[in-house]
Structures are given as structure tokens and as C-alpha cells.
Amino acid sequence: MTAQTWSDAMGAALYGPGGFYRHHAPDAHFRTSVSASPLLAESLVRLVVAVDEALGSSDRLAVVDVGAGDGSLLVALMQVLPDGLAGRVDALAVDIRPRPTPLPASVEWTEVIPRGVDGLVIAHEYLDNVPCDVAQVGDDGSLRQVTVDVSSGEESLGPPLSDEQQAWVERWWPPGEPGDRAEIGTERDHAWRQVLEVLDRGVAVAVDYGHTQGERVSGAYSAGTLTAYRDGHQVVPVPDGSCDITAHVTIDACLAAGREAGAENSALLRQADLLGALGLHARRPPLDLATSEPRRYIEGLLRASHAAELLDPVSLGSFWWLLQAKGCQPVVDGIDWL
């Protein structure tokens, strides 16, 4: 039995030489807003335009996708940008995988987020795959790290928390009863700080499923959220490289980390509210189009169906969108900056 902390096991299982993200196409295993509909890119155009205007519409505007997968979000976004803006956008995909083929030459590819970004940085379902350790309350009431067998997924209680982990848990996710768990977000906070630190001026956006302090205090997440996906199905998380391992994000802790890294303005909204503010709606087309313009009616129905999935408050619409700005405050009706 080879037991490791969840952070070590998850890191190797996802990003090591035999890791999931080195050898698998994510879209073959789980569905995201990016893969669900091109309407996500259409909605983001308004945010890109708002960031560009807030930065003074300079000669170049960076749009960076962190954890870009196959680069499809940037490809879709570049296709729907206004002509006057598309020619000034530098699109950069960041991912550990080799550059996909084919990918338009208009999208650059790198493994490392560059420094000195002026523009928009998007981290779409990135933080949930940053490795995290798991803490559990033992029978004696003490907090211990959870260790996992990398070949079977069997768990056991391991060593005590480090001082840094203990402080984080006490601040953000204090579990109560024996058996209660907390997924320690120190590495996610650090990853988000790094995103803010490379941003000189503009907006960084994290999109993920997550939770806030009130939800955690209520006990809604006392069993934790660590899980895995394979071939479109939720499965037991076994850190052997065969599945995507993920856990919800403590999004309010990331907000605080971004402020520590220099964010001057922040906004935190559910996806349904954010995309609604960006103009997306799921209204069906007028019924009379079914006879007068049937093709347009069918296209309208398809669009409404796609929008409804993105806005569904019990599914994709419940994702959190964390926006943090440096050196600007874009104006979008419905987004209130803190």
C-alpha cells in the first residue's frame, strides 16, 4: 500500500508523466460550459469589450485562457469579436499539454502564464484541478491529514496538519464533528495569487463550482466534495491517472488571496447572474416564426436551449464567477464591484 497525502497524489495523477491531463482529452470525460455551447464565448465578448474600454482601447489587448484544454474557448471568442477589436487582441492559451492540431495561428500556446498582462485573464474550471490536501476530524477531535492509496483510492488518517494548513482551516473551513472533512485551499489560493500577479492592468476571472463561508458553516459540505470523472460518469477518486480528480473551490478564500495580490476591485456572482448581466437569455422565439420563418424558429429554439443549460441554477448556472480587477473598473450593468 502506497499512501500519499491527497495533494501529492492528485498532483501526480493529474499532471505527472502518466497524469490524466497529459494523455486525455477532458471533453471525452466531462461536460463544461465551454463545450456545452458557443453562447459562452458570445457572452464573454461584452466583458472583453468592457475591459478594453476600461483600459483605454490601447494598441494591443491580451486575452489569456489559463488551463485552456484544446483552446476552443479562445477560438470561439476570436470568431465573434467585433472586427475593430479582433485585430488588436493577442489570444494566448496556457496549458501543460502540447499545442493541439489544428489550432488557428491567431491563438498562441504556452505552458507558463506570462508576466505583464494588460487585458483579460480567464481561468475556466482551472482552480478545481489545482491539488488540495484533505483534513478530517478524528475520533479524538483532532484534525489530521487524509492519506490515500494511489492504486486503490483507499483512505486513512495520516499526520497532523502543518501550521499553515491549520491556520487556513481555522479561518475558512472549521469542521465540527468527528468524520467532518475540509479540503484545504492553500494551493488554490497560491495559484490564484499567481494569476493576479502576472496581471499588470485588467481583469482576472475564475469560473468554477465552489462554496462560500455561509454554506460551509451550515454543514452543507461537511463530507467534502472530492470526486472524479471518467467517460462522462462520476466515479470514485482513485489517483492513478485514469480519471479527472476535482474538488469544489473555496471561492471566498480565493477572493481574499486575489486582494492580497493587488486586486483593487472584485465581483462575485453565480454564472446565471453574470451571463444574464452580459445579455444572455433563454427566451423562446415567437411562435409565429414557426410558420413564417421555420428555419429561424428552429435556430431560435436551439439557441434558447443552449442558453437555458448555461443559465440553469441547479447545474452550470450555479458556477461561481470571481472577477478581480487591477488598474481599471469595467462598466457592465448588473456587475457590482466591491
pTM score above 0.95? no
Q: Which of 8, 83, 16, 7 is nearest to 49 (CA)?
A: 83
| pLDDT tens, position by position, 1-11 | 578 999 999 99
Q: Specify if 78 maps to a domain.
A: yes
Q: Convert the pLDDT of each residue in 162-196 to its tens digit.
A: 999 999 999 999 998 999 999 999 999 999 999 99
What is the total count of domains within the chain? 1
Range of the domain at 99: 31-132+185-209+248-282+311-326
Give me the mean pLDDT over the 62-76 stretch. 93
Instruction: Pick the range with the lowest mean pLDDT from 15-29, 73-87, 185-199, 258-272.
Output: 15-29
pLDDT computed for residue 249 by the predictor? 98
CATH number (domain holding residue 76): 3.40.50.12710
Residue 160 half-sphere exposure, CB side, CA atoms within 13 Å?
A: 8
- Whether residue 338 is contained in a domain is answered as no
Residue 222 maps to a domain: no
Inter-residue contact 262 to 145 (CB < 8 Å) = no
Position 13 in a domain: no
Cβ neighbours of 217 (radius 10 Å): 12
- Kind and range of the H or E element at 9? helix 6-15
